[in-house]
């Protein structure tokens, strides 16, 4: 009986695309104009498709998430505490990522010439202008212009509007579910082309700049994992100790299996049984764990938020762009709110990174530089996400 050949995973495909892009780029160092003129356009097409699907995926998935929060009415303070906990720890996570990346100069040592990219630094807006700018005066303009903060605000209002409409809101909820599923399938199609997109984007970069541009990637991985460890050890240890009077060592020992599974599989949802089992050993009531942990697997993305912060600073520094305090605060707000908006979406890490880069005007092309190492970063950030789910369950249970 003939067995079917194993299908190459998307992660492996992207890695192959990155390696081939480096090799071809090195071979084309004597003719970089060929890489720029005939290979890079396919990368541009891939980026355009990513930008095209970002807004519908975010607004629809976020409205879905908000609609599902009607369960808060049943669990009362448990639901409110859970959401607040996730939002605060995500904000801490992105702040840690930005702070450590800035402190250790994650993209320092090499500046990538922008080439045909044009970056015009706008004047830093005042805080109140930024606050006012979050609220759109037109429904369609934010969608057309990909103004992510305004898109998120729109999703929040329409999500709660559907909930408040009750029975009459069900057709709208069904429409959102249906259109969201269509958008996810479109996203699937685009993500399947990631290997080609990465190849087409990295080849001209290496052809024009040589292998030295790849050396900073090791620094990105090390700094990201340092941030993962700091967040888990400091934030989660403090929260379980302060709110649940639980020994951090006992906490990590009981959820160790869930962390290892999450790290190896890069799947928060896949780790759910292990996470629930681990928290039950810590005394978390079943009704609490069964609500908090699945919700966390959907909306809690602390590890992903750290990744956004580190990568945003890396891409900014590699392109020689200085991010001011207001822009970095914008990154914190965007990544925190977007962690709910892109929850459970295939390729959510890349979508969130595109959102963060767009929110402060950084070149989205920088995604190609980190796409090839995304699997390595994803393993760590998923382990952090699962640890956060368990920590929240323990704290809420107390």
Q: Name all domains of the chain by residue range, CATH numbers in brackets.
A: 10-113+125-397 (1.10.3860.10)
Q: What's residue 116's pLDDT?
A: 42
CA 373 to chain centre: 14
Helix (H), strand (E) at residue 284: none
| Residue 395: pLDDT band with limits 50, 70, 90 | very high
Closest to 79 (Cα-Cα) out of 64, 68, 63: 68
- Read off the DSSP letter of residue 343: T
More confident residue, 184 or 200: 200
Q: Which of 58-67, 104-113, 314-323, 358-367 shows the lowest per-residue confidence on average (mean pLDDT)?
A: 104-113
pLDDT tens digits along 192-243: 888 888 888 878 877 876 666 556 678 888 999 999 999 999 999 999 999 9
Classify residue 319 as left (phi > 0), alpha (psi -120 to 50) or beta: alpha
| Residue 110: pLDDT band with limits 50, 70, 90 | low
d(CA 182, CA 187): 9
Six token digits for residue 266: 């890069």
Residue pair 311/381 in contact by the 8 Å Cβ criterion: no
- Answer yes or no: is pLDDT of 121 > 50: no
d(CA 381, CA 231): 11
Closest to 357 (Cα-Cα) out of 380, 378, 334: 334
- Answer yes or no: is pLDDT of 251 > 60: yes
| Residue 120: pLDDT band with limits 50, 70, 90 | very low
Closest to 21 (Cα-Cα) out of 190, 218, 193, 207: 207
C-alpha to C-alpha distances, 301 to 62, 222, 298, 357, nearest whole angstrom: 14, 20, 8, 17
3-state helix, strand, coil in the chain (%, to 5): 80, 0, 20
Distant-in-sequence, close-in-space partners of 134: CB < 8 Å, separation ≥ 6: 149, 150, 153
- Answer yes or no: is pLDDT of 94 > 60: yes
Residue pair 215/373 in contact by the 8 Å Cβ criterion: no
Closest to 302 (Cα-Cα) out of 245, 355, 224: 224
Residue pair 222/365 in contact by the 8 Å Cβ criterion: no
Q: What percent of the chain has pLDDT over 90?
A: 19
63: how many CB neighbours lie within 10 A of its CB?
A: 27
Q: Which of 76-90, 113-127, 296-310, 369-383 shows the lowest per-residue confidence on average (mean pLDDT)?
A: 113-127
C-alpha to C-alpha distances, 376 to 33, 102, 167, 189, 369, nearest whole angstrom: 32, 21, 45, 23, 14
Distant-in-sequence, close-in-space partners of 19: CB < 8 Å, separation ≥ 6: 372
Residue pair 121/321 in contact by the 8 Å Cβ criterion: yes
Q: Tokens 């925190």 sit at which residue? A: 336
Average confidence score pLDDT of the chain: 80
C-alpha to C-alpha distances, 236 to 58, 307, 338, 343, nearest whole angstrom: 28, 17, 21, 21
- Answer yes or no: is pLDDT of 117 > 50: no
More confident residue, 6 or 229: 229
Closest to 57 (Cα-Cα) out of 346, 330, 268: 346
Q: What's residue 124's pLDDT?
A: 41
């Amino acid at each position: 009986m003939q067995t079917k050949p194993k299908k190459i995973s998307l992660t492996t495909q992207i890695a192959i695309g990155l390696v081939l892009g480096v090799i071809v780029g090195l071979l084309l160092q004597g003719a970089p104009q060929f890489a720029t003129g005939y290979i890079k356009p396919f990368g541009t097409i891939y980026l355009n498709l990513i930008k095209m699907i970002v807004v519908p995926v975010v607004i629809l998935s976020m409205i879905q998430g908000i609609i599902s929060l009607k369960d808060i009415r049943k669990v009362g303070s448990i639901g409110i505490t859970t959401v607040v906990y996730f939002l605060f720890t995500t904000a801490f996570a992105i702040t840690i990522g930005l702070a450590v990346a800035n402190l250790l100069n994650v993209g320092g040592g090499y500046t990538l010439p922008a080439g045909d990219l044009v970056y015009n630094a706008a004047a830093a807006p005042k805080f109140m202008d930024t606050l006012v700018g979050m609220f759109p005066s037109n429904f369609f303009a934010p969608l057309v212009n990909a103004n992510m903060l305004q898109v998120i605000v729109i999703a929040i209002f329409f999500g709660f509007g559907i909930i408040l409409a009750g029975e009459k809101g069900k057709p709208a909820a069904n429409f959102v579910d249906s259109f969201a599923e269509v958008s996810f399938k479109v996203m699937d199609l685009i993500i399947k082309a990631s290997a080609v997109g990465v190849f087409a984007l990295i080849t001209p970069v290496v052809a024009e700049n040589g292998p030295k541009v790849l050396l900073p990637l090791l620094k990105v991985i090390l700094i990201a994992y340092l941030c993962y460890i700091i967040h888990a050890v400091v934030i989660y240890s403090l929260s379980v100790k302060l709110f649940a009077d639980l020994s951090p060592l006992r906490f990590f020992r009981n959820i160790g299996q869930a962390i290892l599974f999450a790290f190896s599989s890069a799947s928060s949802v896949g780790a759910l049984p292990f996470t629930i089992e681990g928290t039950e050993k810590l005394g978390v009531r079943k009704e609490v764990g069964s609500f908090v942990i699945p919700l966390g697997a959907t909306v809690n993305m602390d590890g992903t938020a750290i990744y956004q912060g580190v990568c945003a600073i890396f891409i900014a520094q590699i392109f020689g762009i200085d991010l001011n305090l207001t822009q970095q605060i914008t990154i914190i707000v965007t990544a925190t709110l977007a962690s709910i908006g892109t929850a459970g979406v295939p390729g959510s890490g890349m979508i969130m990174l595109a959102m963060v880069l767009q929110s402060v005007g950084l070149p989205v092309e920088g995604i190609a530089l980190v796409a090839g190492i995304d699997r390595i970063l994803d393993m760590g950030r998923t382990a952090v996400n699962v640890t956060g789910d368990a920590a929240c369950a323990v704290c809420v249970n107390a």
